[in-house]
Amino acid sequence: MTTKDIKRTAWKEYEDQYVVDTVLAAMRLGKSQLYAFDKAAAHLNRSSSAVNFRFNSIIRHEIKDEMKKVRQQRLANKLTEKDTKQNATSAILRPIQKRGIQTVQVEIPKEMKDERIKEDAKAVGLPEVYACLEEVQKAHMHMLEANKQLLQMLRFYL
């Protein structure tokens, strides 16, 4: 975009709303505000600096509460993901450790992990481990589906 192509007119209400939506969507995705400013600038045919200035001088003060909610939601999601991983790992290892079997971490290629672990769990006779793996896999599929739906919604804004 050349400097001749950049708008230098007064800001319209729909442009402010687009900047708000883009920044909040970027925050939900864990992207930076600068990323959002670049996206909005390209869409609105304005410079990234102009979008940055407009956001920080006027818009940010109007949406302070929304930004706070998005930050809290992201923090809650991070904590939930961390807890889910820890709970899944301990749920899988607990029955094994109760039987006195030492656990060793081995790196398995991703495409082989699920099937190989299920087969090993069945062969060793650990139905609890197999059941836990089924639950972990269901939770993982649910998270993937939720992420897919979120990305579809965000494509509208980005």
Are residue 54 and residue 88 in the same domain, yes or no? no
Counting the structural domains of the chain, the total is 2
Per residue in 55-79, pLDDT tens? 999 999 999 999 999 888 888 777 6
Give the per-residue pLDDT at 47: 93
The answer to whether position 122 is within a domain reads yes
Contact yes or no for 29/154 (Cβ under 8 A): yes
Answer with the one of 62, 94, 119 that is the final residue of a domain. 62
The answer to whether position 125 is within a domain reads yes
The answer to whether position 18 is within a domain reads yes
The answer to whether position 100 is within a domain reads yes
* For range 123-145, the mean pLDDT: 68
CB proximity list for 115: less than 8 A, separation 6 or greater: none
Q: Give this prediction's pTM.
A: 0.51
- With 50 as the cut, is the pLDDT of residue 106 above it? no
The residue segments making up the domain with residue 48 are 13-62
**Strand ranges inside 46-128, DSSP E:** none
Between 122 and 154, name the one with better pLDDT: 154
The answer to whether position 68 is within a domain reads no
Are residue 151 and residue 95 in the same domain, yes or no? yes
Burial of 46 (0-12, 13-18, 19+ CB in 10 A): buried
Question: At 7, which helix (H) or strand (E)?
Answer: none
